[in-house]
Amino acid sequence: MKMKRPALAASFALFVFTASGICAAPLPLEITIGAVETLTGDNSAYGVSIRNGLELALAEINAGRFLGSTQLKLVFMDDKADKQEGISVFTKLVNDDKVSAILGPTLSSTAFAADPVAQKAGVPVLATSNTATGITAMGNFIFRDSLLQSGVIPGTLSAVRAKFHPQKAVLLYEATNEFSKSESEVFKAGLQRLGIQLVATESYSKGDSDFRTQLSKLNSRKPDIFVLSSLVGEAIPILQQAREIGITQPIVGGNGFNSPNVLRSAGAAAEGLIVGSAWFIDSPAPKSAAFVKAYRAAYNADPDQFAAQAYDGLYILATAIRSAGSAGRTAIRDSLARVRNLDGALGSFSFDENRDPVHPSVTLTVRDGRFVLFQ
């Protein structure tokens, strides 16, 4: 969906950097940033939301002269959720477009393939939706503002234990995707830490459409909770088929379930779904509320977690450029590493020493077709 107009209600001065000022060296009139997202296929639900968040932030930054007379330019590339395509578009952005930095890619599986291209070339990457373990370990030019699975899932499971007191759990995940495999391991560790017995695990492959066999096997173990790790394409039929075969236990979903598309398409089957999230649309925090208002004005729709992370991501990058006073790749990288206590839609944001994000998370549940706080 295209923006109706540049929505400036969120204020271009969203972030206040802790550095004392802007370097004297002039910035170029235009700085080109790559944005590699999944814009086609099943997982485009994430990529389109990310693009919307980036375009909203871009309009505010440029119209508000956040970088003075310098304008940011985003070059969007569709990685099609394909590893080789990700490598190809990263290579083009690095070598042909001469970008100062890259935002993306959408999926962790693509990031593991493509990020080394940027790392080798010394181009900073800021991922706004990669949560798998090991993303930033690929190199000192790789950053992310999306909370790690290990930073969200333990809190979600603790909240579930406090309310339902489960003794037994089962797990279903995609075995052909790095994100889901990584997330399943975090779920396993979290369950073990809380003393919840994992009595059965089943997997599936990308493109599968019938999950009744796996779900029935898991349900035969009489679990207290179901734990699911999936991307949006499979998340929807999994929820629907789980309810079809009579599964009534609480379902705990991973980060891939954090999309309004899942709720809309799964319908009643999504009711009661529990997820951990980096962001909550009804947060009373002023910066978050301003972002939601601007997004609704621009797109006549509600933003999701992925739009919020993308929106803040471009502001984080712009703030690093402003502090560095340079479009140079290494200067931007060094400035990103110093980001601390930025106030944005995600809350107070910092990078830790591993270039991973530090900011609050929440646990949500689905009620009447929308995410609300889990209590």
At a CB cut-off of 8 Å and minimum separation 6, what does 11 contact? 60, 64, 290
Identity of residue 57 = A
Instruction: Determine the pLDDT at residue 10.
Output: 38
Mean pLDDT of 61-73: 98
Under the banding of pLDDT at 50, 70 and 90, the label for residue 4 is low
In this structure, the number of other CB atoms found within 10 A of the CB of residue 348 comes to 14
Q: Name the residue ranges covered by the structural domains of the chain.
A: 30-147+282-359, 149-277
For residue 269, which of 242, 233, 232, 231 has the smallest C-alpha distance?
242
Mean pLDDT of 194-218: 97
Answer yes or no: same fold for 30-147+282-359 and 149-277.
Answer: yes
Instruction: Determine the pLDDT at residue 350.
Output: 97
Structural domain 149-277, CATH architecture: 3-Layer(aba) Sandwich (3.40)
At a CB cut-off of 8 Å and minimum separation 6, what does 154 contact? 190, 193
Task: With a cut of 70, say whether residue 36 has pLDDT above it.
Answer: yes
C-alpha distances out from residue 115 to 32, 107, 126, 238, Å: 18, 11, 10, 31
Task: With a cut of 90, say whether residue 12 has pLDDT above it.
Answer: no
Question: Is the Cβ–Cβ distance between 46 and 306 less than 8 Å?
Answer: yes
Instruction: Determine the pLDDT at residue 360.
Output: 85
Task: With a cut of 90, say whether residue 321 has pLDDT above it.
Answer: yes
Q: Write out pLDDT tens, residues 140-186.
A: 999 999 999 999 999 999 999 999 999 999 999 999 999 999 999 99
Kindly report whether the peptide bond that precedes residue 105 is cis, defined as omega within 30 degrees of 0: yes
List the single range of 5-14, 174-183, 191-200, 324-333 with lowest mean pLDDT.
5-14
Task: With a cut of 80, say whether residue 9 has pLDDT above it.
Answer: no
In this structure, the number of other CB atoms found within 10 A of the CB of residue 98 comes to 12
Under the banding of pLDDT at 50, 70 and 90, the label for residue 21 is very low
**CA distance linking residue 107 with residue 130, whole number of Å:** 6
In this structure, the number of other CB atoms found within 10 A of the CB of residue 165 comes to 9
Across the chain, mean pLDDT equals 93
Which listed CATH number (3.60.21.10, 3.40.640.10, 3.40.50.2300, 3.30.2020.10) goes with 30-147+282-359? 3.40.50.2300
Question: Is the Cβ–Cβ distance between 33 and 74 less than 8 Å?
Answer: yes
**pTM recorded for the entire structure:** 0.91
